[in-house]
A and B are shown apart, each in its own frame.
Chain A
């Protein structure tokens, strides 16, 4: 049986004035039904481009996609935009970071919401209306009957994000892609939205991908985590293994930069100095080497491959941390 969603050696390149920009480099990942995969990386690591390209949202003359993307065994990359669209909503749905721009500002919530139900599922207007209220209740919106008459502007960021989630799950997708679903939200609302997503996943048996820059967010909500750097997977493991036996210096640095409630005051946070490499420039070195505290001459001349430690814990480093401590 094939996985729910598979990326196989996915490459995404853009033509720019300065040359070819390598946004995603040979990413291989899969998601099983009902599983939650966390995808973690900094701005510019390619985490958003990867999913958009896989979903066929990024295309055109200046976009080059290579490799393979399979949805329940069906090859997506060669399909036209129209062909891919038939899977949206019913098989895959997306929740975006910015719920304000993702909603149509001049249409009431109810009207833009029921459109997907009447068009996609062929419901009649009355049934769609009822279903919208039911879905809004499912995402714990207070007074859903009143809410359908409102415009997106009248809602707070957290409420808009919940409307987005309700719309995404409206056609019972098998996979929900959540791209930075809580980044624009307060900590308290973030906790509510994450909990809602996890509850919905259990209730509806969906597979889910949470894309984020914050390892802290996926720690309590994902089964496995993939860490991305400069368009490559640099560590991939079960959530527990990733935290208990961090292999990549980059992952360790990301963890250390999170401010913690139980941390000491006055102690400087461990920032990752420098910036990710220029995605246009070509290098034969490890991409993280210029920022890595452990980097050696080898790291500056050779590019490490993604290897398995034998337990399904993948990493891309010549000197993995666990081996170092032994």
Chain B
């Protein structure tokens, strides 16, 4: 790997997922949107990797690109060394049980006509795993592990449940065929704080229990801080910083990361109000700024930022930043 955009990738034998120079585009009336623009990332087995960024930065598209739910223009998605992007049809379908996904809107992601037991059992049936009794026992066990009582919830339908409960059903369903990687796309964003903590704890417990790796997509650094080992900060289709979460919270190198950190509300009135650093919203992805994509909102932008696109480089062990003028 001598490509600059991928220098943060690790040469470990324990890497479960390795995404190399992934590009995903959408064609719209106003032009082509490069939603994921040359992104590389890796996830070691048992690791939780988070991707944070604002709405429209391409983080959900990245998740879908990893799942190969939408075709990528170029790049590789290596799961256990097999490039999913090169697979098609039945071969791709056969590879999919290893990656499962849960979504932000858990209520609408579950078929309202099916009962909870059927929802959780469905993946097992599709893949023809186990006998009827084995499947039944497995479903009961899964429901219990997400703190739902199978005797009470088993025969009810998703509409009878709250958002938090539906998210727990989604987790049980996603894990029923024992994937290696669980992709979580904003799984707690539409939930109350008290419920958010419940779901995060369940995801964490299931990760340990099933030895899962997680790709966790979120816009909230505080949520990400609580559960991830490594964080990728994304802005307008590009990675601008990669670091362990403690490092990002205490000394963010990219000015965008710094803005994200300072936007997290602090539950302590004595801290007082901090001014929001970030004004406005990201520019249009159909026509991104030249050079550094963040320069139009960046307090430290210079002429160099407009002329030359910064590449990821290591500023401290394990911390990579794509910025010409990183924070001290």
Partner-B contacts on A (CB < 8 A): 42-43, 140, 142, 156-159, 186-192, 194-195, 198, 213-217, 219-221, 239-240, 243-244, 253-255, 257-263, 265, 268-273, 275
Q: How many A-B residue pairs have CB under 8 A?
A: 145
List chain B residues, Cβ under 8 A from A216: 193, 265-267
List chain B residues, Cβ under 8 A from A186: 54-55, 219
Instruction: Indicate whether A157 sits within 8 Å of B55 (C-beta atoms), given known contacts A188-B260, A259-B223.
Output: yes
Tell me whether B222 and A259 are in contact (CB under 8 A): yes
List chain B residues, Cβ under 8 A from A261: 221-222, 225, 249, 261, 264, 266
Tell me whether A188 and B263 are in contact (CB under 8 A): yes
Q: Cα distance A195–B262 when bound, in Å?
A: 13
Tell me whether B54 and A189 are in contact (CB under 8 A): yes
Tell me whether A220 and B194 are in contact (CB under 8 A): no
Against A, the Cβ 8 Å flags (1 = close, 0 = not) of B280-318 are 110000000000000000000000000000000000000
Tell me whether A191 and B276 are in contact (CB under 8 A): yes
Within 8 A of A (CB), among B78-129: none
Tell me whether B271 and A220 are in contact (CB under 8 A): yes
List chain B residues, Cβ under 8 A from A221: 273
Q: Cα distance A189–B220 when bound, in Å?
A: 11
A and B contact pairs by CB, cutoff 8 A, 11 listed:
A188-B263, A195-B273, A219-B265, A259-B225, A261-B264, A263-B226, A268-B201, A269-B197, A269-B201, A271-B198, A272-B197
Nearest-neighbour CB distance to chain A for B107, whole angstroms, equals: 12
Tell me whether A191 and B265 are in contact (CB under 8 A): yes
Partner-A contacts on B (CB < 8 A): 54-56, 147, 162-163, 192-198, 200-201, 204, 219-223, 225-229, 245-246, 249, 259-276, 278-281
Tell me whether A187 and B276 are in contact (CB under 8 A): no
Tell me whether B198 and A273 are in contact (CB under 8 A): yes
Across the two chains, which residue of chain B brings its CB closest to A213? B192
List chain B residues, Cβ under 8 A from A195: 273, 275-276
Of the residues B194, B225, B269, B279, contact of A219 by C-beta under 8 Å: B269
Tell me whether A188 and B276 are in contact (CB under 8 A): yes
Select the residue from A186, A221, A239 with max chain B CB neighbours within 10 A.
A186
Tell me whether A263 and B200 are in contact (CB under 8 A): no
Tell me whether A263 and B225 are in contact (CB under 8 A): yes
List chain B residues, Cβ under 8 A from A158: 281
Q: Cα distance A185–B245 when bound, in Å?
A: 22
Tell me whether A268 and B204 are in contact (CB under 8 A): yes
Nearest-neighbour CB distance to chain B for A226, whole angstroms, equals: 15
Instruction: Indicate whether A219 sits within 8 Å of B249 (C-beta atoms), given known contacts A190-B263, A195-B275, A261-B221.
Output: no
Tell me whether B55 and A220 are in contact (CB under 8 A): no
Tell me whether A42 and B194 are in contact (CB under 8 A): yes
